[in-house]
Amino acid sequence: MSKRPICLSRPRLVPPEQIAGMYPAALQILSEIGLRVRSQEVLSAAARAGMRVNGDRVFPDRSAVADLVVEAGPACPSALPAEECVPPEITYTIHTYPMKVYDLDSDQVVPFTTERVIEATKLADTCADRGLIAGAPGAPADVGPYLRTILQFKIGAQYSRNGGHYWDAWYAKSIPYVMDMAEVVGNPVHTLPVFVNSPLCIGDESLTAVMELKDRLKQVSVSNISTAGLSAPIRLADGITLGLAEVIGAAAVVREATRLPVVWGLWVSGGSPGGILERWASEEVTAFYHGKQPGPPWGIAMSSADRPGAQAAAQKMCALVFGALFGARSFLGGGNLTDEVWSPEQLMIDLEMKDYLQHILAGLDLSSDPNAIVAEVAEGVAEGIFLGLESTVQRYRETYWFPRLFNAPSWCPELFSRPELRQRAKEMVGEHLASYRYQLDPGKSRELDRIYAKAERDLANE
């Protein structure tokens, strides 16, 4: 079969001339307002590098950030061309933030316990062959705050083949143990993030962790996440300009303090459903000042619903379709409802929607054999139906999509009279869990247990 995958030209949301005007304004913000820095060590490093420091504020100038930006940007067409022959395969990853899970038995949102996180991780692992790449879907709330991300990484690594790649350790006291575990499973951590707290403040746990662990790092990433009208101006362009000032200024300061290479990117969210358009606009500005064209968009398929159902499915499918048509092939949010809630039932629905969309993106096979068509039509007319023809048998499964969860069209009666969709999704969760087989190398598992036991002792009174 010969199919041409479907992918549209990505529209440009921000005119290049408007992007070019953001840099002078960002420099003015840095020189007149500056960045608040909550670390005397970092303030001293900035002063030694020649940056103006006044109290707890640093004022990076053009010379401090000049080599972090490409002022002219790339050649900017009005619309970004679609990638040629983008494969239709879509992957889903799980957002690791949730502290709660939608419980199938009680039909209620409940805290993630260690036992529930382990079960959710096993479920995620059984979906690897369906394009799900994930570790532990949440952090256990039945241990102390410093132990949560350490235990989450341990569970992900021990119960999922991809778990050793995904983690979010927010506390500086937790990160060293996660880094030790990551080395055990063969995925050493060489980059840590510094987050700018909008507006214009660096110095939270992320900066503390980077300063304490800089000898173990090869690179630092700097980013912000701000919201229009909350932590940034309500006008999106102004919010992005502030974000640009934050990340390039913070990158310059962090580079001097750590003496490590620094990469940066900005993100402003706002009023469009799911923040999709704002995120894409932020990507365009980031790419411009790196001298590049934006690549395929970053996909996030989240929902504001706290229950599986029509709202969650509608919001997530909209994000999937919109992103995939313009080239996104990797999406964050498998099984996630809000940032705080994960649902095994929703994961089954999400994977079904992904498969549905993937079949559409694959396009059509419009090849034809003129020498055979007349004979095939004649045979079909003689039979009164084309269903039993050899050509149909050979190509049927390549032509039609066979759902695992959704009801099938009426010509497949054996799949049409299934249980109600949510009930079927719950049944599928049980079927997946019954098929779980993964086991981490025993030696590596024992070493993870040892590191976690040490973390428990060290952080017992924290």
Cα Rg, the chain, nearest whole Å: 25
pLDDT value for 424: 92
Alpha-helical runs (H) found in 259-366: 276-288, 310-325, 344-361
pTM above 0.85, yes or no: yes
Give the separation between CA 333 and CA 340, rounded to whole angstroms: 11
Which residue ranges form the domains of the chain, and what is each CATH number? 79-362+441-458 (3.20.20.480), 370-434 (no CATH)
Instruction: Quick: pLDDT tens for 344-356.
Output: 999 999 999 999 9
What is the rounded average pLDDT of the residues 350-374? 88
3-state SS class at 336: strand
Instruction: Quick: pLDDT tens for 220-269.
Output: 999 998 998 999 999 999 999 999 999 999 999 999 999 999 999 999 98
In this predicted structure, the answer to whether residue 370 has a pLDDT above a threshold of 90 is: no
Are the C-beta atoms of residues 172 and 208 closer than 8 Å to each other? yes
Instruction: Quick: pLDDT tens for 159-183.
Output: 999 988 877 777 899 999 999 999 9
Give the separation between CA 246 and CA 58, rounded to whole angstroms: 11
Percent of the chain with pLDDT over 90: 64
Q: Which amino acid is at 230?
A: L
Instruction: Quick: pLDDT tens for 117-160.
Output: 999 999 999 999 999 999 999 999 999 999 999 999 999 999 99
> Within 10 A of 32 (CB to CB), how many other CB atoms are there?
8
Give the separation between CA 177 and CA 169, rounded to whole angstroms: 10
Parallel/antiparallel/unpaired status of strands 191-196 and 219-224: parallel
The first and second tokens of residue 127, run together, are 């979906």
The larger pLDDT score, comparing residue 366 to residue 190, is at: 190
Q: Choose among 313, 322, 314, 393: nearest CA to 361.
A: 322
What is the rounded average pLDDT of the residues 1-20? 82
Average pLDDT, the chain: 90
3-state SS class at 110: strand
In this predicted structure, the answer to whether residue 285 has a pLDDT above a threshold of 90 is: yes
Are the C-beta atoms of residues 99 and 340 closer than 8 Å to each other? yes
Q: Choose among 286, 252, 266: nearest CA to 63.
A: 252
HSE, CB side, 13 Å, CA atoms: give it for residue 455: 29
In this predicted structure, the answer to whether residue 415 has a pLDDT above a threshold of 60 is: no
